[in-house]
Chain A
Amino acid sequence: MKILVAVKRVVDYAVKVRVRPDRTAVDTASVKMSMNPFCEIAVEEALRLREAGAAAEVIAATVGPAQAADTLRTALAMGADRAVHVLHDPDPARPLLPLAVAKVLRALALQENPGLVILGKQAIDDDCNQTGQMLAALLNWPQGTFASKVIIDKDKQKATVEREVDGGTETICLDLPAVITTDLRLNQPRYATLPNIMKAKSKVIKKVTPSELNVDIRSDMEVVQVDEPPKRKAGVILSSVDELIDKLKNEARVL
């Protein structure tokens, strides 16, 4: 079975972003970029499944501009076998939407016939949490979102997925092929070792465009403006618990 893993290049999770003064977008000009943390977890899970014998090949894919190839190189360095780069140049006013990405991934899945597609549950830039679910719908495959554990039964062609939901942990069982989106506690991704980074340079990245895949990337969303969140007024450091209780009762009136 093949596993297709979709990855996204995003602003690094530790960066404190700033809104551009013209309020059109967040400033990503000279900011550190990395693979989306949830996508790292997705790559890691795919690799573990291959190492356990549940899959034969791991293919990494991304939709993005030329620099997005860096993210594919990281996936290859972690251990993915090959990669596909669907080229798309961003337009901040008309963002690339999850529906368009899902349509691209569907086209790739129809070409590659994987038994599993694994994605991060959300990208930490737009925080949409939509692509995996949409891809599953377009392929008419079942979905296991927010996965904290995945067990594949090769003989029965089923995936048992434990999911983190509001009320606790839910377990569902899916027929393969299926789409899984990863939550934080699914695994701890490996670091790419230097020898693997060197090896990755000779792995194949196939370049393709959305039109070659017959996918229309239409955007039904216009960004009107981007603002900073309301600032909280500065707080005070108190010197005792008595003072705290007093302030909460009499000043803030929440106690």
Chain B
Amino acid sequence: MAMAAALVARALRRVRAGGARNVAGEALRRLVSTLVVAEHEGGLVKPSSLSALAAAEAVAKDNKVSLLLAGSGPALHKAAEHAASSHPLVNEVLVADSDIFAHPLAEPWAELLRSVQQKGRYSHVIASSTSFGKNLLPRAAALLDVSPVTDVTAISEPRVFVRPIYAGNALCTVRYTGENPCMMSIRSTSFSPTTESMSETKVAPITQVDLSFLSEASSSKSSWVNLTSQDTERPDLANARVVVTGGRGLKSAENFKLLEQLAEKLGAAVGATRAAVDAGYVPNELQVGQTGKIVAPELYIAFGVSGAIQHLAGMRDSKVIVAVNKDADAPIFQVADYGIVGDLFEVLGELLEKIPDKK
């Protein structure tokens, strides 16, 4: 508060000195506070939301962050405890506990976000660009009459952002010139969560959100039916250190099992191109690309992937890219650090022989 008072005082001195009336407004606008809309699973804040916290720090080093969690039951409360000591900038954890939030439906969630924003008057709202964030943030933004910036990959000033356009073939730097809040979704691969451990003394308070704004109408227009996912021990594609991807060249779902074996040895996640998903070799949640998952692992190995623009959009920021394809002219070789032109099944077979099992 002392800092806020000092900023306002400085601004008022400028006003008295004959500067624009705007300046006081500017100073107040520069007080940064952020609502981070987080996701949780199994009693922990998800890594994608920890990236959102890293983005909050990029907005302002002295950002005051309120972290919002919703859901119901003991897992929610465990996640709140995790959130309370997840990052030095977290000032408070807001918990919305209701069966209405048991599933990620956009309609009640957007009303929650609007209500929390209207009470807290944050200068910024950040969500990670997961399917949840993508579904929710624009709806909430429209309720607040705000244009959000989606899929941010860099923050150079509190209101200046870089985001990819044209499937990542161009990077656009935009300045948000509207009213508060400045809302954004961020690409978690561009913001690594802080690895420094927090000192034990900083544990943020956990507050229950007043849910009286929820009406009968809020939750009645949509209902959640179910979620079908692949049962897998593979690490999450979005966070894995190594990703092994198969394209149309794999030719069958059976052959993808070979890729899984390699992934097992490398502790890797398995990815796929649109062509492989369309052909039914693997389920959709493995798709890497412009409209699928964006990944940026340490190592990305692509088997039988031609390297279409839309696929590159999803993996071009990987640290090391390896491509195996029998077509020497495949565009993938233009982004690969190491390439092998040859039969992917032979290469895969040899790799399976020569790479030891994971200990």
Binding site for B on A (CB under 8 A): 11, 13-14, 16-17, 19, 26, 38, 97-99, 102, 121-122, 124-131, 133-138, 141-143, 145-146, 148, 160, 163-175, 178, 183-185, 219-229, 232-233, 235-242, 244-245, 247-248, 252, 254-255
Contacts and interface: CB of A to CB of B under 8 A. Distances in A.
Q: How many of chain B's residues touch chain A, expressed as a range?
A: 35 or more
Interface of B: 105-107, 110, 130-132, 134-143, 145-151, 160, 163-179, 220-230, 238, 242, 266, 274, 277-278, 283-285, 290-291, 293, 298-299, 309-310, 316, 319-322, 328, 333, 335-341, 347, 350-351, 354-355
Contacts of B347: 241
Contacts of A133: 106, 135-139, 142
B351 A241 contact: yes
A145 B174 contact: no
A166 B293 contact: yes
Contacts of B138: 98, 129-131, 133-134, 137
Contacts of A229: 164, 168-171, 316
A242 B350 CA distance: 9
The 8 closest A-B pairs by CB, nearest first: A220-B178, A168-B229, A134-B142, A130-B138, A137-B142, A133-B138, A142-B222, A165-B131
Contacts of B290: 124, 127
B177 A221 contact: yes
B274 A184 contact: yes
B223 A172 contact: yes
A174 B221 CA distance: 6
B221 A142 contact: yes
Contacts of B140: 137
Nearest to A20: B170
B14 to A, nearest CB: 24
Given A13-B310, A126-B165, A172-B223, A166 B238 contact: yes
Contacts of A240: 340
B173 A242 contact: no
Given A145-B134, A166-B293, A172-B223, A227 B170 contact: yes
A172 B238 CA distance: 24
User: For A19, A166, A178, which residue has the most chain B Cβ atoms within 10 angstroms?
Assistant: A166
Contact of B175 (A130, A148, A171, A221): A221
A13 B179 CA distance: 34
A235 B337 contact: yes
A168 B104 CA distance: 14
Contacts of A219: 147
Contacts of A175: 220-222
Given A148-B284, A220-B177, A223-B174, A237 B147 contact: no
Given A169-B284, A222-B174, A224-B173, A238 B338 contact: yes
Nearest to A174: B222
User: For A99, A178, A229, which residue has the most chain B Cβ atoms within 10 angstroms?
Assistant: A229
B111 to A, nearest CB: 10
A170 B224 contact: yes
A66 B351 CA distance: 56
B109 to A, nearest CB: 11
A173 B103 CA distance: 13
A137 B74 CA distance: 31
Contacts of A137: 110, 138-143
A221 B284 contact: no
Contact of A221 (B132, B147, B179, B340): B147
A168 B283 contact: yes
A127 B354 contact: no
Given A168-B230, A236-B338, A254-B320, A221 B171 contact: no
B354 A241 contact: yes
